[in-house]
Amino acid sequence: MKRVFGWVEKLRTYLTEVRAELKKCAWPSRRELAGSTGVVLLTVALLGVFVGLSDTVLMWAIRLVLR
């Protein structure tokens, strides 16, 4: 039983420290967050197009070589 209470106390201490650290964080404003999200979505879309085109070109080249 003592082990269980020790584990619960450690968890409580951990969560208290996490909360204290999160209060120290500088959180972005809604506008900054929206801008960053837009950049990430655009980058993912461009990377997806690049990978898709590269895959298509390489498949075409391999089929040409294997004929």
Contacts with 36 (C-beta within 8 Å, 6 or more apart), sequence order = 28
Write the single-letter amino acid at 35.
Answer: G
* Predicted local confidence at residue 5, as pLDDT: 72
pTM as predicted: 0.63
* pLDDT one-digit tens code per residue, 9-60: 899 999 999 999 999 999 999 999 999 999 999 999 999 999 999 999 999 9
Structural domain spans, the chain? 2-66
